[in-house]
Amino acid sequence: MGAALPETAPSRLFLSGNEAVALAVRDAGCRVAAAYPGTPATEILEELSRFPDLYTEWSVNEKVSLEVALGASMVGARAFCAMKHVGLNVAADALMTMTVTGTEGGLVIAVADDVGMSSSQNEQDSRFWARFAHLPLFEPADAQESYDMAREAFAVSERFRCPAIVRLTTRICHVKGRVVAGEREAHEPAGFVKDPQRWVMVPGHAKPRVALMYEREEALRAASAQSPFNLLVEGSDRRIGFVTSGPAYMHVRETFPDAPVFKLGQSYPLPLERLREFAAGVDQLLVVEETEPLVESELRAGGIACTGKDVLPRVGELSPDRLRPAVARLRGEEIPVTAQPRLVPQQVFPRPPTMCVACPHLGIYYTLAQLRNLTISGDIGCYTLGAGHPWNALDTCISMGASMGVALGMDKGRGQADAKKAVIAVIGDSTFMHMGMQGLLDITWNRGNVTVLLLDNRAVGMTGGQDNPGTGRDIHGESAQRVDFAKLCEALGVKKERIHTLDPYELPTLFKTLREEIKIPEPSVIITDRPCVLIDHYKPTQPYKVIADKCTGCANCIDVGCPAIHVTRRETQVKPSGKEVELAFVRIETSACTGCGLCVQPCAPEAIVHALPEHPVKFLHAKV
């Protein structure tokens, strides 16, 4: 998280795109802001939460956040919501009706596309939503434009009485730059005006408003043609002219500083006639857009000759190293080779992503890895890493909440090949509330034979430890009602005797409970209750160390997967039977150890002890 934004903004600041959007939202007189955490957009609401005169909330999912913003807009307040690209899919039901009802107070949606998939399961182009919903779209290229366009989006939203979308990308969200802020506006809500013909979207009311939506789109097109954010950058080398937007504009200018560029800032609706005029003044027109060929297709549909994805990749960022060879091919030139010194590749030990030291999910996956005949349906969160080494204990991961429905489908669709396999769904606390509750209800209603592992670590761990309804705290860290997951699961149809809450650090209890529940042919839920190790509410205890002379190299502790355990040497031992056994001798990085005790339990020779001898430990072995 960045530095706190000032109450009264000085003239110059050094901000990330996320911070710039947050400041713009505050300065535009916004009254209500809601979001669900999602990288790379998470920091926007975190920054907004620091302003005491602005209502902010972490909503249970993106659809709810957009509906909260719409409600505020209905009473005339300026409202804002933020989400990552896949979050807008969740909010789409509300979005596609809002485009018909329109809005009152300015309503801005910031959506952050993860171009290059740094932290996402897909690479989605959210510019489609502006076209699908017939809404204005802004695409900033740096932090200053993030501020300017977010403020302008509120004005455009109110002028045309519709939501406005600001499309960010990971590079814009997280790269910092200089921002000159403007004066803060005051905006008083006018109040709600009853109008069932507009706000009650039954078919009879919706049909007449569809025509108004199309009329609005034409007015938006005329406004886009005059927008100062759509600008022509002159250039002396007119062999190729570029049409681009967002961070791709920066790459184009860096790579071809002498080329003319038409920069799209308010990029939908397209200023088609201005682009036609620009195209007439260059020999060739190249559309540089991340990631889908939307502008390219629309230019061609408008009769404007251009090229784009036939020479440029559709995946990832369009950096200078990708632009140079593409333009060389277009010009019929030799593809340039970047001169670099010849380096001897270094053999680097692989560093795959893994869970944190003492993560409460470690015991879950250690236990799952010991069991056989399981099919494990996973979900979105830190625990998705259970698919990797050393556990290899996750078989699917599709989307938020999908573990439940996928598990039920596996149960109902199984044949002889899977008849003896237990079906397990693994889901985190925040993901369960986001989109998993409905899936559990579907499992109980349809009598599915699924065991659910609900991993309650009291945080939205993957995005930085934000609070949710299961933590007992709101976005400001103040006390709030906490969801009782056991009662909630019972209300969703799971029998009380099939609901268990346990400590994931207690491996014998976890193993025994899981082994028993998968044998029972009805829905069951095992709730693990330990806080994320990265939040303030986690309390570390005395660390452990390995007594080298006692370590037999059995590697049971390594199978837990804790990053604090390091292999010091490996040996191959030949048993009397002639079988070779690989041994791995270990040490514990005491400075990183939090004393969770997970590695102690499978250590048969009792080689792991507390680092301070004056505090002896009673060993608890998990015979699994």
Helix H segments across 247-287?
247-255, 272-280
The predicted model gives 159-164 an average pLDDT of 97
Tell whether 30 is in a known binding site: no
Q: Is residue 539 part of a domain?
A: no
Q: Residue 250's closest CA among 338, 318, 329?
A: 318
Angle, helix 247-255 to helix 320-331, in steps of 10 degrees: 60
Average pLDDT over the chain reads 91
> pLDDT band for position 622 (50/70/90)?
very low
Query: 60 and 194, same structural domain?
Result: yes
User: How do beta strands 79-84 and 107-113 pair?
Assistant: parallel
Tell whether 554 is in a known binding site: yes
* CATH code of the domain covering residue 153: 3.40.50.970
Tens-digit pLDDT profile for residues 41-56? 999 999 999 999 999 9
**In this predicted structure, what is the pLDDT of residue 609?**
93
* CATH code of the domain covering residue 277: 3.40.50.920
486 within 8 A of 527, measured Cβ to Cβ:
yes
Query: 171 and 300, same structural domain?
Result: no
Tens-digit pLDDT profile for residues 166-218? 999 999 999 999 999 999 999 999 999 999 999 999 999 999 999 999 999 99
Q: Is the peptide bond before 360 cis (omega within 30 degrees of 0)?
A: no
> pLDDT band for position 123 (50/70/90)?
confident
User: How do beta strands 231-233 and 261-264 pair?
Assistant: antiparallel
Report helix, strand or coil for 128: helix
Query: 162 and 296, same structural domain?
Result: no
* CATH code of the domain covering residue 573: 3.30.70
Domain boundary among 210, 226, 242: 226
The predicted model gives 603-614 an average pLDDT of 82
Residue 616, pLDDT > 50, answer: no
Q: Is residue 538 part of a domain?
A: no
* The two three-digit tokens of residue 595, written as one number: 């004393």
**In this predicted structure, what is the pLDDT of residue 369?**
94
Tell whether 397 is in a known binding site: no
Sign of CA dihedral 442, 447, 449, 451: positive
Q: Is residue 537 part of a domain?
A: no
Q: Is residue 504 part of a domain?
A: yes
The type of residue at 75 is V
φ, ψ (nearest 5 deg) of residue 508: -60, -40
φ, ψ (nearest 5 deg) of residue 282: -130, 160
- Residue found under tokens 């038409």: 262
The type of residue at 461 is G
**In this predicted structure, what is the pLDDT of residue 623?**
34
Residue 268, pLDDT > 50, answer: yes
Report the alpha-carbon distance of residue 223 to residue 320 in Å, rounded.
32
Domain boundary among 529, 556, 576: 529
Report helix, strand or coil for 52: coil
Which residues in 101-115 are b (16+ Cβ under 10 Å) and which e?
Answer: bbbbbbbbbbbbbbb
Strands (E), 124-239: 137-138, 164-169, 176-180, 231-233
Q: Is residue 569 part of a domain?
A: yes
Tell whether 551 is in a known binding site: yes
**In this predicted structure, what is the pLDDT of residue 543?**
93
Count CB-CB contacts under 10 A for residue 54: 17
Structural domain including 320 reads 231-331
The predicted model gives 273-296 an average pLDDT of 95
Tens-digit pLDDT profile for residues 356-414? 999 999 999 999 999 999 999 999 999 999 999 899 999 999 999 999 999 999 999 99
Tell whether 603 is in a known binding site: yes
Q: What is the DSSP letter of 22?
A: H
Which residues in 455-466 are b (16+ Cβ under 10 Å) and which e?
Answer: bbbbbbbbbebb
Query: 257 and 220, same structural domain?
Result: no
Domain boundary among 202, 226, 250: 226
Q: Is residue 129 part of a domain?
A: yes
Query: 394 and 501, same structural domain?
Result: yes
Query: 554 and 485, same structural domain?
Result: no
Give, in order, the Cα–Cα distances in Å from 138 to each of 110, 264, 272.
9, 8, 16
Query: 238 and 218, same structural domain?
Result: no
Tens-digit pLDDT profile for residues 60-114? 999 999 999 999 999 999 999 999 999 999 999 999 999 999 999 999 999 999 9
> pLDDT band for position 345 (50/70/90)?
low
Query: 481 and 568, same structural domain?
Result: no
Report the alpha-carbon distance of residue 288 to residue 284 in Å, rounded.
13
Kindly report the length of the chain. Answer: 624
> pLDDT band for position 584 (50/70/90)?
very high
**In this predicted structure, what is the pLDDT of residue 332?**
82
* The two three-digit tokens of residue 281, written as one number: 């003044």
Tell whether 382 is in a known binding site: no
**In this predicted structure, what is the pLDDT of residue 613?**
53
Tens-digit pLDDT profile for residues 402-460? 999 999 999 999 999 999 999 999 999 999 999 999 999 999 999 999 999 999 999 89
The predicted model gives 339-351 an average pLDDT of 62
Q: Is residue 341 part of a domain?
A: no
Tell whether 599 is in a known binding site: yes
Query: 548 and 455, same structural domain?
Result: no
Query: 377 and 242, same structural domain?
Result: no
Q: Is residue 7 part of a domain?
A: no
Tell whether 557 is in a known binding site: yes
Total domains present in the chain: 4
The number of helix segments (H) and strand segments (E) in the chain equals: 20, 22
pLDDT > 70 fraction of the chain, expressed in percent and rounded: 94
Query: 606 and 556, same structural domain?
Result: yes
> pLDDT band for position 116 (50/70/90)?
confident
595 within 8 A of 544, measured Cβ to Cβ:
yes
- Residue found under tokens 């349809």: 446
Query: 82 and 133, same structural domain?
Result: yes
**In this predicted structure, what is the pLDDT of residue 22?**
97
